[in-house]
Structure 1
């Protein structure tokens, strides 16, 4: 059995993880480039927890400037098996109000120009992504929220836009009309890459605002988004701490198959694989490539 290691990526307003004990920082070198920041590794209860500030300390990186491949690769290299993404988002539904946590289970990727796969020419692979969120991990987050008396909404679709600008009014109305629930700028390609790395993924989407479709609210602005995110950071820390304290010691099989997502996924014959790309895949795909 594989030891369970819980990874946490903190988004806007979440640059640290209170409650993390016996902390050590580790700068992980990745063949995919530089991760957003050093990893903060410690424990909560008996669970090893690895925290990464998505935008870096001081919020240095824009959503489009984040090296998502390096981040996921670095987390994989230190043994992360399950990954929780804490992300600020806007809402398209009146009942999904600012301050609420939404446990989304679907994504629509509207980003452009981001590297969204570890694979490519010389080592082609196609992983299943119909269910990008690990159902068992999401259920554990929901149970932790109930134990901490933190209201959450389970289920929903997160549309990921490129940014860094917020939506136009026409875009906001379009996404609302399509039935999407929340909007953000960072969970894609994060969820795709986690699946390729066989890391089980789930999102805690912190609603910071109603997107600009709402007739009774002002345009979205950074000050209000960050204020709500910071106000909810302590609740997010409580939720993650409870999740970690109740986490299993050994990795659970994922009902969505994330723990073995690369089984049968690689199309390129061994004799035609690019050795340079294969070397870069040592952490992500070593289980199936024999690295």
Structure 2
């Protein structure tokens, strides 16, 4: 009996050692990957606290600085109207996200619950729009907005971004997972489609909706190509325009430290947003990938 116990203990010890070695290797590569991912953020912050002169004097980049300065953050707000650009970006992001949320929710509900002729064919054609290159969409949107005389307006900035085929598809798949019996029971009780959507479907799919909102906020906040095309009036500039202005205002050379300071300021809200809602994002993505 003692021999059996001894053999069992040796097997258990060997298994535990192998598990520790495997976990150690996994954590080593995870830490290495984390360093690779976080290094650009470290370099961004480091560059933002280097003076303009010391940065340009570095023939070999230094991975630390002994004389950090916050002057670049001051320059980021005084060289250009970064505060106004932040406000414009906030307004653009909030309004665009709010309108898009209404549009995709109603569209996803129609494709998931309503019955009408040709629904599957229309949805298939709708999904095929995802195959169109973004460059072609940008050209078409630019022509349309210009013909409508909406350049240099918030309406022109917002309109092309108020819907998304991918988000409609993602939300439609979540709505389709809700049992049909709930819908039929609600109709028997005399509940309207809109009330059923608000009281049943939206609360059940809340994690996915939060995920979509966060992804859309990040998309709007980081928008670069469309604002650069459709606006040349500083009153409607977003932060992407502000960063470009700071970059070009370097007294004959690119003012990289001030630009990095502006990028840090712009990135902080997105980082905080993700850290606060990271569990909701993971739950929404997991639910979107689960069928049944």
What is the TM-score of this pair, normalised by structure 2?
0.21
Between structure 1 and structure 2, the one with the greater Rg is 2
More helix by share: 2
